[in-house]
Amino acid sequence: MYYLAVSYNQPQFHECTTWNTNGITFQPTFQFSNPYGIFIDTNNSIYVADEQKNQVFIWVNNSIQSTKIISNNINSPYSVFVTNNGDIFADTNSEVEKWTLYSNTGTPVTNFNFPCFGLFVDINDTLYCSLSSFNMVLKKWLGSSTAPLETAAGTGFSSAMLSNPRGIFVDINFNLYVADSGNDRVQLFQSKQSNGITVAGNTSINTTIILSNPTGIVLDGGSYLFIVDTGNNRIVRSTSNGFHCIIGCNGGGSASNQLSNPHRMAFDSYGNIYVTDPGNSRIQKFLLSTNSCETTTEISSTMNINGNSSMSSTNVQHDTSPKDLTTTEISSTMNINDSSSMSSMTVQHGTSPKDFTSTFSINQLTTSESSISSPFFVMPFCGQNKIGLTCNISSAPCDMMQLCENNGTCINNNSIVDGYSCSCSQGFNGSNCEIDNRPCQSNTCWNNGICNQTSDTTFECLCKPEWIGIHCEIQIDYCQNITCLNNGVCQPLLGDYKCECLSKSYSGEYCGIVSRTLVIHQTVSKSFGYICYVMIGCICSFFIVMDILKYCFGIDPAKDQLKRRRRRRGQMKKIKRPPQIQKIIYIN
């Protein structure tokens, strides 16, 4: 069977698995203010979003000192999620930004305008955001910057509706679990389904457990639910036999076995549970106690007699229930120069007087080296700044990763909060040498100019031929003293100029050469113009001569003709028209 890798821990637990009810405060060198969101990856790196400090704290590989603090443009972060490739997604109260361990600035992913009280990225690189202000869960595929926002849950009626949703979880089958805080329940939205199924709390088909304002939800390796029951200040889990409380079962408070307004939880790779406890401004770690229905106690002893060594191992099992056994194991593992021997004895006792049995099993083994393996892997305690099976790996920040940028030198220093300091190269400063103060930057010289550093604080730009200025920002105007004829336009070129002529009728460097066709057209046009001028002059001269003859010399060539026309009109008026007789017939 093929399993898709996820970035978070999903341990396999037994029905009888228990955790130490007294938590250990995960307290770094500073005081948390309001730790809200938490994420632990498969390398046991811890990421905590502190809503009031406006920061995301990172401890790589469960190190003691915080490796990195994300604070740039972070405002009231409520949730954080880390993918397999190391991308860190953090809520900034209005949008989601993506960070990496090696970056000092985030990249905006999408803007929701409201805080995401729950963040999750599924195995298909789809980002889910729990928008409590809109009572819905939105999602967006990260494979394309233009991918639209889609509603994953919170539309419709009854089981499809949400009220103040908080924590979310998406399994590898794309089933969405939502901590429906306002409805005191946990809703399951199966893949591509808009209607939810109540799997815990109010309105469930079979009353499972009474929840009060649940805010966090996690699935283990067996797909069983772990719920942060905030209103009841406890952690509950589901098994095949139903739900039951595992942490904070005696009410809220500040004691080591109590919680106050918990919000999120996460597993490390060993099955330990981390819980954000904002009411007490802390994070509590509850160690895995047993992961079986058999409780085992192991006692080891070693004896050296005359250069020989012997080992005895006794297992005593007490039948406390028809299913559960309590086992006491006494064992010893030794390496002997010459020889070693091992014996074991097992005794079982039933609690019922009728069911008493005794079984003895004695095995003899002679080897040069013997060992006993445990069903649980227990990480050795290596002390400060050491990790690994043989405690040979340094967990100091500078030894775990390259924290100083731009060829800076990382120096471990446990006397400061971050646990390290950076010795920066010339021209760089900042806590991680991330600030570049060199005179020559990528944008110092514009327009493909070359920056030449002349000292620690000064520079000189070697500009291309057509540019001048301190930053090569001024373009040389080669057309300043050039005049193009015939309305031509001067265009500056690379170190030169060119007159752009408005038509094909003009050419030459300054558009001063006129084409033959245009010359002919101009000659013809001028000729017609001259003819018109002559005709107009002749007409005007005629009228002037006529007026001079009439008014100056009394000669009016048109006078006789006018008199004849007047006499003809008078004669026409004197001629009477014959009377017209009209006959009218009356018809009765």
Task: Please tell me whether residues 308 and 268 are part of one structural domain.
Answer: no
Q: How far apart (Å, rounded) are the C-alpha atoms in residues 454 and 578?
A: 123
- Host domain of residue 80: 18-290
Q: How far apart (Å, rounded) are the C-alpha atoms in residues 251 and 416?
A: 38
Task: Tell me the per-residue pLDDT of 528-552, one tens digit each, with 9 for 90 and over.
Answer: 888 999 999 999 998 888 888 878 8
What secondary structure letter does DSSP report for 354? T
SS3 321: coil
| CATH number for position 426 | 2.10.25.10
- Alpha helices in 196-310, H assignment, sequence order: none
Whether 272 maps to a domain, the answer reads yes
- Count the domains in the chain: 4
Task: Please tell me whether residues 182 and 314 are part of one structural domain.
Answer: no
Q: How far apart (Å, rounded) are the C-alpha atoms in residues 385 and 456?
A: 39
Instruction: Kindly report the pTM of this predicted structure.
Output: 0.54
Task: Please tell me whether residues 362 and 407 are part of one structural domain.
Answer: no
Torsion of CA 105, 109, 113, 116, to 10 degrees: -90
Task: Tell me the per-residue pLDDT of 497-517, one tens digit each, with 9 for 90 and over.
Answer: 889 998 888 888 889 888 888
| CATH number for position 493 | 2.10.25
pLDDT per residue rounded down to tens, the chain (588 residues): 334 578 999 999 988 999 999 999 986 777 888 999 999 999 899 999 998 889 999 988 767 677 788 888 888 899 999 998 889 999 988 889 999 887 778 899 998 888 999 999 999 999 999 999 889 999 999 988 888 999 999 875 567 789 999 999 999 999 999 999 999 999 999 988 888 999 998 777 666 789 999 999 999 999 999 999 999 999 999 998 889 999 999 999 999 999 999 999 999 999 999 999 999 999 999 999 988 876 544 444 444 434 444 444 444 444 444 344 444 443 434 343 444 344 444 444 444 433 433 333 333 333 333 333 444 455 566 666 677 677 778 878 888 788 898 889 999 887 887 778 999 998 898 888 988 888 998 888 988 899 999 988 899 999 988 788 999 988 888 888 888 998 889 887 767 788 999 888 888 888 988 888 888 888 888 888 889 999 999 999 988 888 888 788 877 777 777 778 878 877 777 666 666 677 777 776
Task: Please tell me whether residues 183 and 89 are part of one structural domain.
Answer: yes
Q: How far apart (Å, rounded) are the C-alpha atoms in residues 34 and 424?
A: 34
Task: Please tell me whether residues 217 and 332 are part of one structural domain.
Answer: no
Task: Please tell me whether residues 159 and 257 are part of one structural domain.
Answer: yes
Rg over alpha carbons for the chain, rounded to the nearest Å, is 48
pLDDT at residue number 329: 42
Assess contact for 127 and 144: CB atoms under 8 A: no
Torsion of CA 189, 190, 191, 192, to 10 degrees: -70
What secondary structure letter does DSSP report for 336? E
Tokens linked to 114: 């409201």
Whether 381 maps to a domain, the answer reads no
Task: Please tell me whether residues 248 and 298 are part of one structural domain.
Answer: no
Residue bearing tokens 């110092």: 444
> Measured between alpha carbons, how far is residue 312 from residues 235, 296, 297, 317, 345 in Å?
42, 17, 15, 16, 8
pLDDT at residue number 280: 93
How remote is the C-alpha of 130 from its chain's centroid?
14
Assess contact for 288 and 271: CB atoms under 8 A: yes
pLDDT at residue number 350: 44
Tokens linked to 459: 């520079």
Whether 330 maps to a domain, the answer reads yes
Q: How far apart (Å, rounded) are the C-alpha atoms in residues 505 and 123?
A: 69
Whether 426 maps to a domain, the answer reads yes
> Measured between alpha carbons, how far is residue 23 from residues 14, 245, 259, 570 in Å?
21, 15, 9, 138
Look at residues 281, 272, 508, 235 and name the one whose alpha carbon lies nearest to residue 376: 272
Task: Please tell me whether residues 324 and 192 are part of one structural domain.
Answer: no
Long-range contacts of 467-474, Cβ-Cβ distance < 8 Å, separation of 24 or more? 471/444, 471/445, 471/446, 472/445, 472/446, 472/447, 472/448, 473/446, 473/447
Task: Please tell me whether residues 172 and 35 are part of one structural domain.
Answer: yes
| CATH number for position 206 | 2.120.10.30
Tokens linked to 320: 């406390």
| Identity of the amino acid at 508 | G
Task: Please tell me whether residues 73 and 137 are part of one structural domain.
Answer: yes
Task: Please tell me whether residues 271 and 302 are part of one structural domain.
Answer: no
Task: Please tell me whether residues 174 and 75 are part of one structural domain.
Answer: yes
> Measured between alpha carbons, how far is residue 358 from residues 314, 328, 346 in Å?
13, 15, 8
Q: Is 160 exposed, middle or buried (0-12, 13-18, 19+ CB in 10 A)?
A: middle
How remote is the C-alpha of 70 from its chain's centroid?
14
